[in-house]
A and B are shown apart, each in its own frame.
Chain A
Amino acid sequence: MEVTEKNMREIIEGYDRDQRYALAIMQDMQRIFQYVPREGLELLAEYLGCPVSALYSMATFYKALSLVPKGVHIIKCCDGTACHIRGASTLIEGIARELGIGPGETTPDGQFSLETVNCLGSCALAPVMVIDDVYYGKVTLERLKEILSEVKKGGGGK
């Protein structure tokens, strides 16, 4: 969805004017816009009657919230102990070759963001990668290419 004042207001006004909904609203913005826009934060502060600094503090605290636009598809590549030993770093290099992005970066077309995480709790499937809440286990470089083209086509993930 496009980042417009109308769309932002729609998200915000779906909730009561209570500071305890701040996080839920920001999570909605993140999901819908792929980030929490600055104007959104300011509108929210005005709506809830709390300082922008309090919301900014929250938005920078949670890793799930981002202040810069994230890709439509989020790749979470595990680099925990088990995955690291089973070749997670090769996988991350493979993603860098395929998409030209490193951890924490987003492709210029806004399609993919790469994040590394420390453990996804599926060590038996190492190395593990998650794209838009779909788990891919025992990923090899060949499989990686297939998975990425599948996601690009809209087959996997969202």
Chain B
Amino acid sequence: MIEIQINGKTCTCEPGEFLLKVAARNGIYIPTLCHHEGVGEQGCCRLCLAEVVERGRSRIVVSCVFPVEKPIEVYTDSERVRENRAVVLMLLKERAPESEEIARLCEEYQAIDGSRFKALDNEKCIMCGLCARACQSLGTGAIATVGRGTGKKVSTPYDEPSKDCVGCLSCARICPTGAIPYKQDEKERRIWDRSFTLVRCESCGEIIGTREELLLAAERGGREPDTLCASCRQKQMADVLAHTYGLE
């Protein structure tokens, strides 16, 4: 067990634990974009910077991928952190000028002026790759990063509708900047150039997912596809239990 100081507060953690996680556990907020509990750390948005002081020396680290190994002092909102974060946010804003979330963060953390850079046109994506990782870790793997350098983007193979996609919206929902477009009406959902038929709860009529998504889940779980939404399923289960114990 290691004892560290975050903004003057004493926190304990296991050796090798990531700083961001330790801070979060102790109720200390550090802003992030590319971080998500479900898919592991990547350290690419550089927003979660923190200042680490060790034996009188101070340095800036990326807290989501910084393993705590020694007793250190950490500052998450020092002058130096604010200065660095203001630059990072400016760069992110030039990369994804259309993103409302980044515009909000820029306002909140006073990003510096980035007018000397040419902002990308009509772009919301910061190329963090969370969507691709989410899709891979769900085992569908319909999208991935394609190409490299300035031409890198997230796409399906050959930019064609992917047969692996089940239209589950994990990519669109995990995206921190809302960069993945999709359309949905009463019957249909369109994402990555494919349409999916929506299935509704048999009891209350709530949308429970696309047909492909439910079939995949059923196949993995070795059971029949869901026909009820989560709350109707709970209700059904409660009814069964009540009946079993004669509580009706």
Using a CB–CB cutoff of 8 Å, the interface residues on chain A facing chain B are: 38, 41, 50-54, 56-57, 60-61
Contacts and interface: CB of A to CB of B under 8 A. Distances in A.
B145 interface: yes
Nearest to A42: B157
B148 A53 contact: no
Given A38-B158, A51-B136, A52-B164, A60 B142 contact: no
A57 B132 CA distance: 10
B158 A51 contact: no
A51 B140 contact: yes
A45 to B, nearest CB: 9
B161 interface: no
B178 interface: no
Main secondary structure of the interface of A (DSSP, over half): helix
Nearest to B163: A52
Interface string B140-176: 1111111110000000111000101000000000000
Contact of B156 (A38, A50, A53, A61): A53
Interface centre among A54, A60, A61 (most CB of B within 10 A): A60
B141 A60 contact: no
Contacts of A41: 157
Contact of A60 (B135, B143, B147): B147
Given A53-B141, A57-B146, 19 more contacts: A38-B158, A51-B136, A51-B140, A51-B141, A52-B157, A53-B132, A53-B135, A53-B142, A53-B143, A53-B162, A53-B164, A54-B141, A54-B144, A56-B144, A56-B158, A57-B145, A60-B146, A60-B148, A61-B145
A50 B140 CA distance: 9
Contacts of B146: 56-57, 60
Contact of B141 (A38, A50, A61): A50
B147 A61 contact: yes
Nearest to A62: B148
B224 to A, nearest CB: 26
